[in-house]
Amino acid sequence: MINGISLAASPTNKQKITINQWFGCSRFIRNAKCEENNYLSKYAKKYLPIGTYPKPDQTFSQYKDKTLTPWLFDCPSQILRNSVSNWYHTYSQFLKGHCNKPKKKRKTNEDGIHLTKELFKFKKCPYGVVRLFIGTKTNNIGYLNIKIHKNFKEPNSIYLKRKNNRYFVSFCYEDNKEDSISQIEHFKYLQTLPEKQLEKNTVGIDRGITRPVQAGDNVYDFTFEQKKKKREKEKYIKRYQKKIAKQKKGSKRRKKTKHSISKAHEKIKNIRNDFCHKTSRAIVNNKSNNIIIFEALATKNMTKKPQPKKDEKTNRYVKNNRKQKASLNKSVLDKSWHRLETYTKYKAIRADKVWFKISANYTSQECADCGRIH
């Protein structure tokens, strides 16, 4: 079964300079391929016969020039090749209708490069220490310090990423666990079981706002400390957003303030991520929860902004409770419904348990006799 892992890296200041330069070279090549394809497409529409379009390729040597782009020679050519290869794969998927057209990347605090097997090597040292060598024999950054928190198999490729001045190494690998049976096979087997046994082993996951997760008789919510920390960070972000609006664009203080806001957003994200991981683990580890049922919630539709309203008589715009709807949308998105569903799904598969999604219609009904909501 395929498993993923993300390891925290601690590069030195000298290594950071080289890594950031590699990030920029990879982004430059990708953006150049996007611009080249856009130019050729416009040229074909204007001057070539109808239905004739340029075929994408994986060439990039035309962008390496000792005078115009000398910095590209400081980056291993394999990194540039991988960047073009990823662009070509995305464009091929776009032509098949599986995704959108690849776009240019901006220079932000989030970036990354794809490293194939010839660009890295894991070295096992005494006392269980593992070191990661990155680069080629003639162009490398040496050994990168990484924090390993679990065992893994050596992969064929890795991603070196940067986010908010923090660096990570992430990759996928095959573990020894065999793939369980498919959802269809599970469903066919469950059809043969009696109704009482199904009710005993089934749990319905109801996601809400006041109660983020209701799993049978169990309620899962953020802890008091998590709620307090989120409120503090939200106030912090609001205060610093006012501060950054008054600062000069391009200044060092504005850059420092922007980094502080990014760290606050990341803290809130980590709190939500921690809640989803612990809640999904508690649901899957419950011995009676062998069949997990989710509602098919259309969160995107639920969080749309309200349409403007007009008075039929005066034809003037009237209040449409936009502010209240914005507050409701914020509360819905704060509970991370989709992330909880994703985490629960893959953990259930690894635990040989089954999950299903059902329509949200008529899942909660009020009894006409007693008034209880089922």
Output the pLDDT for position 25. 95
SS3 assignment for 75-102 = CCHHHHHHHHHHHHHHHHHHHCCCCCCC
Q: How far apart are CA 133 and CA 115, in angstroms?
A: 11
Output the pLDDT for position 179. 65
What is the average per-residue pLDDT within 170-188?
A: 79
Residue 299: pLDDT over 70? yes
pLDDT band at 344 (very low <50, low <70, confident <90, very high): very high
Residue 15: pLDDT over 70? yes
How is residue 152 written in tokens?
A: 């893994």
What is the average per-residue pLDDT within 148-169?
A: 90
pLDDT band at 270 (very low <50, low <70, confident <90, very high): very high
pLDDT in tens, 30-51: 999 999 999 999 999 888 888 8
pTM to 2 decimals? 0.84
What is the average per-residue pLDDT within 139-157?
A: 89
Lowest pLDDT segment from 230-239, 244-253, 288-297, 333-342:
288-297
Nearest to 280 by CA among 370, 332, 203: 203
**Rounded percentage of the chain residues whose pLDDT exceeds 70:** 98
What is the average per-residue pLDDT within 271-292?
A: 92
pLDDT in tens, 71-93: 999 999 999 999 999 999 999 99
Output the pLDDT for position 374. 63
How is residue 91 written in tokens?
A: 């464009």
Residue 365: pLDDT over 90? no
Output the pLDDT for position 231. 95
Beta-bridge partners for 217: none
Output the pLDDT for position 36. 93
